[in-house]
Amino acid sequence: MEYSHCRLLLVCSVLALCLCNQGARGDELTSDFYDYKCPGVYTVVQQHVFSAMRDELRMGASLLRLHFHDCFVNGCDGSILLDGDEGEKFARPNQNSVRGYEVIDAIKADLESMCPGVVSCADVVALAAGYGVLFSGGPYYDVLLGRRDGLVANQSGAEKGLPSPFEPISSIVQKFSDVGLDTTDVVVLSGAHTIGRARCGLFSNRLTSTTSSADPTLDSTMAANLQSLCAGGDGNQTTALDISSADAFDKHYYQNLLTKKGLLSSDQGLFSGDEDVVASTTKALVQKYSDDGEQFFSDFGASMVKMGSIRPLTGSEGEIRCNCRVAN
């Protein structure tokens, strides 16, 4: 593979050393991090996300999920982007599932010619996710910046840390808690499923088969339609996570749950779970957001900032990668 966009590796590393080592360990992320170092960063990311979504609206959702899957494994450090057999991208929750890597490459290539060695891949992912939300009709929130890139991927960390749609809500809540997010964040951030698609293999457990009977918490008409979509066993067939407005970022995700029209078990479980403390908390929140879209939007922005701040590398930790797919 050719990495012609990546200037000379040496130039990049030297610049990175000169420009980026002023910070100290444990620095906070800020919204003005690139205001002097690379003020054009917003325009570049925005234009790429806009044109990617003009080609395929779903890409906004894919970029949002990319950020989530980056942050949950070793913090938001761009580690999901690293190629190689031990890559996180080949872990079960990511392989043939996470999308958007080419969009990140294209953004990074432009940024390297504009301000070489300055903008981290982890920040590119965070910004791209923000524009993906915004251009889907979702809230604007101030994306905090100043992350640096990790040197290694953690495949087993991805297998362990990323939530599965098949596990109970209590165990999803535990995984969020492991990275400093609470039960409210689980419900708010699950609202990301107001956009994007999921493959049959991720919800066919809820349909009638030789080994399972239909899920009573799934609307029967919707179940019949999914059954025919997934007939033939192509686990890669996709359908909208939000049946009522597939590509629009809105509160319909929560309204669907009130009528048993959540797609994944882990979606519907937020409303239809067994009556324990967790279930009654998540149920009340679903009810609130199904009613109050403004509250959902402002809480979503706040939870995204929180998720985007999971264990960032700052100061002199990590590096600014030249090419998002390989450590320098």
Pick between residue 152 and residue 246 the one whose CB is nearest to ligand NAG: 152
One of 45, 144, 195, 223 touching ligand HEM (CB under 6 A): 195
Residue type, 260: K
Separation of alpha carbons 246 and 249, rounded Å: 8
Contacts of 90 (CB under 8 A, 6+ apart): 155
One of 21, 40, 160, 294 touching ligand NAG (CB under 6 A): 160
Separation of alpha carbons 208 and 159, rounded Å: 28
One of 29, 103, 192, 322 touching ligand HEM (CB under 6 A): 192
67 counts as catalytic: no
Residue type, 79: S
Separation of alpha carbons 189 and 311, rounded Å: 18
Q: Of these partners, ligand HEM, ligand NAG, none, which one is at the site of residue 172 (CB under 5 to 8 Å by kind)?
A: ligand HEM
Does 311 interact with ligand HEM (rule: CB under 6 A)? no
Does 40 interact with ligand NAG (rule: CB under 6 A)? no
Q: Considering only 151-159, 212-220, 280-288, 313-321, which stretch makes contact with ligand NAG by CB under 6 A?
A: 151-159
- Binding site, residues? 70, 73, 75, 77, 79, 88, 163, 193-194, 242, 250
Q: Considering only 26-34, 150-158, 197-205, 272-280, which stretch makes contact with ligand HEM by CB under 6 A?
A: 197-205
Q: Which 3 state secondary structure label does DSSP give 198?
A: strand
- Residue 285 tokens read as 């929140």
Helices and strands, number each (H, E), in the chain: 13, 2
* Least separation in angstroms between CB 58 and ligand HEM: 5
Site for ligand NAG in 68-127 (CB under 6 A): 74, 96
Pick between residue 34 and residue 68 the one whose CB is nearest to ligand HEM: 68
Does 177 interact with ligand NAG (rule: CB under 6 A)? no
- Binding site for Ca(2+), residues? 70, 73, 75, 77, 79, 88, 194, 242, 250
One of 74, 136, 155, 190 touching ligand HEM (CB under 6 A): 190
Separation of alpha carbons 149 and 131, rounded Å: 20
Separation of alpha carbons 105 and 81, rounded Å: 9
Site for ligand HEM in 199-238 (CB under 6 A): 199, 202
Q: Of these partners, ligand NAG, ligand HEM, none, which one is at the site of residue 223 (CB under 5 to 8 Å by kind)?
A: none
Q: Helices marked H in the chain — which ranges?
A: 9-20, 41-55, 59-71, 101-114, 121-135, 155-161, 169-178, 183-190, 220-230, 252-258, 265-272, 277-291, 293-307
Does 252 interact with ligand HEM (rule: CB under 6 A)? no
Does 97 interact with ligand HEM (rule: CB under 6 A)? yes
Site for ligand HEM in 155-184 (CB under 6 A): 163-165, 172
- Residue 251 tokens read as 């509160």
Contacts of 21 (CB under 8 A, 6+ apart): 316
Separation of alpha carbons 174 and 157, rounded Å: 15
Does 49 interact with ligand HEM (rule: CB under 6 A)? no
Separation of alpha carbons 204 and 206, rounded Å: 5
Residues lying near ligand NAG in the complex (CB under 6 A) are found at: 74, 96, 152, 154, 156-157, 160-161, 234-236
